[in-house]
Amino acid sequence: MREKTLKFLGLMRRANALQVGENNTGEAVRAGKAKLLLLAEDASDNARKRAESFVGGRSCLLLCLPFSKEELSSALGLGGCSMAAVTDLGFANALINRLRELDPDAYVGFLYADRFIDTEEYVKKHGGNALHPAIYFLLNPETVRKAAELGLDINVWTVDEIPHLHMACQMHLTTLITNYPDRALSVVTQYTK
Nearest to 22 by CA among 59, 61, 60, 48: 48
Q: What integer pLDDT is reported at residue 36 of this predicted model?
A: 92
**Cut 0.75: pTM above it:** no
Q: How far is CA 24 from the centre of its chain?
A: 18
3-state SS class at 176 = strand
CATH topology of domain 1-106: 60s Ribosomal Protein L30; Chain: A; (3.30.1330)
Specify the amino acid at residue 115.
R
Q: What integer pLDDT is reported at residue 20 of this predicted model?
A: 96
Q: Where in the chain is the domain with CATH 3.20.20.190?
A: 110-193
Domain 110-193 sits in CATH at 3.20.20.190
Residue length, the chain? 193
3-state SS class at 105 = coil
Low-confidence ranges of the chain (pLDDT < 50): none
